Amino acid sequence: MGRQLNKNLDDERSLKMNLDMKDLMRIIRKRAWIIGLLIVLAGSAVGFYSYQYIEPVYEASSKVIVNKTRIVEGVEDVTFQDLNAQVQMIGTYKEVVKTPWLLDDVVQKHPELQTTASELASKLEVSSPAGTQVMTFKISDTDYRRAANMVNAVTSEFVAKTPEVMIDNLTVLNRANPEAAPSPVSPNPELNIVIAVVLALIAGVAIVLIVEYFDDSIQSEEVVREYLDLPTLAVINHIKASDLKGTNRYPTNKTQKAGEANYAAAKS
């Protein structure tokens, strides 16, 4: 008996869940135009703004490798301790490359860049994959040629000036090509539109549910049965003016004056 009771409870929960899902879908379908309108407006607005008003940003990069840290006459092999020291030294180099000690000289030697040390530091990104001896310099700018010239100037000055305070163990692997024509790294209009559509969909569903929550009108027979616990005997559908076209609204064309009586003949 206990098993049967639990089964009945489970069936009741499942039925209630199905009914709730049906109600939710009915509510969404009834006001689907709100969701669709929000999606169209959000996607169109974000796409237009991304293509027309956001200035594209380009990225230029160069790479530097940290070489041997121990140079002994007649010894060319590199030990594990040497490699570990090189990797640890990269953290120091990352801090050095963004200091005014280096960037002030870059700005002074390259006035054609028309930038300041602080602006250059804000645009410069230095990274190194874990466990490697390679450092990557990246600079983003709205003009790719300017970004390439900036990153090349920083790289050259870094390699030339660092031995003054550290050891001479840096080699440039590659420089940015100012003549290249890469695609911008931002904005990404397609991604922006997808995000706008998803957010509009969520907002639309939320608005529809809120409107439905505050709507006190009776929308279906199920609502009458739920609140009044009475069966529905008949339903009068909403009649539009267009539904009456082509039909005779009056039983006769005969006009009748006020006060005139109607007579009905009775057969004997």
- Cβ neighbours for 15, distance < 8 A, ≥ 6 positions apart: none
Evaluate if pTM is beyond 0.85: no
**Do residues 76 and 96 make contact, with C-beta atoms less than 8 angstroms apart?**
no
What class does CATH assign to 58-70+79-174?
alpha beta
Query: Which carries the bigger pLDDT value, residue 44 or residue 255?
Result: 44
Least confident of 2-11, 20-29, 66-75, 149-158: 2-11
> Where along the chain do its domains lie?
33-54+189-211, 58-70+79-174
Q: What is the mean pLDDT of the chain?
A: 79
Other CB atoms within a 10 A radius of the CB of residue 162 amount to: 19
Give the DSSP H or E segment for 139: strand 134-141
Confidence tier at 46 by pLDDT (50, 70, 90) = very high
Q: Considering only residues 97 and 87, tell me which one the structure prediction assigns the higher pLDDT.
A: 97
Q: What is the mean pLDDT of residues 234-262?
A: 60
pLDDT tens string 120-172: 999 999 998 877 888 999 999 999 999 999 999 999 999 999 888 887 788 89
